[in-house]
A and B are shown apart, each in its own frame.
Chain A
Amino acid sequence: MLLLTCPNCGVTAEESEFHQGGEAHLRRAGPGSPDDAFEGYLFTRRNPHGVHFERWRHVFGCGKWFHAARCTATLEVFGTYPAQTTEPPADIVAAIRAKRPDWEGFR
């Protein structure tokens, strides 16, 4: 069971109040991009054993999307942050580094 804090409304709740929305920070391959880039955008997802970034929606709460950094092996949540970001913010990266010194970094 995950405990997540929605940065939009400030509520901390267990995961049944939220809905998971897949990998965060995908970079869209749009019109004119090579087929393999488009295929990768559509289908290729990271599946790490460890630090992972995900989209979540506060579906039974304020209805808004946000991002979460967590560990897929231990279910530890390092932090949540606004969805309007293209990469994890510095405080989230610092929180991960503090607990996972060997983490290879974002991407």
Chain B
Amino acid sequence: MSEAVTALNGARYEGIATIAEAPLGGMVTLRGDLSGADLGAAVQEAAGVAVPGRRGVVAEGPRTALWMAPDELLLLMPYAEAPETAAGINAALAGRFALAVDVSDARARFHVSGPRAREVLAKLSPVDFAAGVFAPGEVRRTRAAQAAAAVWMSGEEEFSLICFRSVARYVFDLLSMAAAPGGEVGAFD
């Protein structure tokens, strides 16, 4: 088997916020009827998390479920567990109109952290990232300049951003430029 690597080999930038590519992580996309009890049970069993409500995030240690659309979840887990997680969900939902696929290598994930993280993200997306508005427990699919992205809070002052692997360099450069020293706006001070 070939050696799996992230899109940018752990690229990192320190500015008014820290931009860091996340290490290899497992990602499984699941399409199906999210309100179905059988789907909820399959996700709990195979992925170890509950199905989040609309735009919700459920995190249990290294496992996270992100609500992406009314019929779509993105499940995060340790990299090595992704294939068995997808297989487990598909086995549990056999015969149902649902499909889980391991997309770990199709995406890139970045951590944006530090006191200015909100400001850096706000430069790139048409989203209100003010502290009282955008809080932990919510995932927002939007655009980061010209690329599709999903953003949620994965820590006190840490945001996670996921984009397609093919635009990883573009998004990393965007985030880095937005975090360049001297680029403080003070919008949320």
Contacts and interface: CB of A to CB of B under 8 A. Distances in A.
Interface centre among A8, A10, A11, A61 (most CB of B within 10 A): A61
A60 B127 CA distance: 12
A60 B124 CA distance: 13
Contact of A62 (B69, B126, B143): B69
A14 B142 CA distance: 11
Interface string B116-146: 0000000000110000000000001111000
Contacts of A16: 126, 143
B68 A11 contact: no
A91 interface: no
Nearest to B69: A62
B70 A62 contact: yes
**Interface size for chain B: under 10, 10 to 19, 20 to 34, or 35 or more residues?**
10 to 19
Interface residues of A, number: 13
Interface in B121-173: 126-127, 140-143, 148-149
B55 interface: yes
A13 B142 contact: yes
Given A13-B126, A17-B126, A60-B148, A8 B142 contact: no
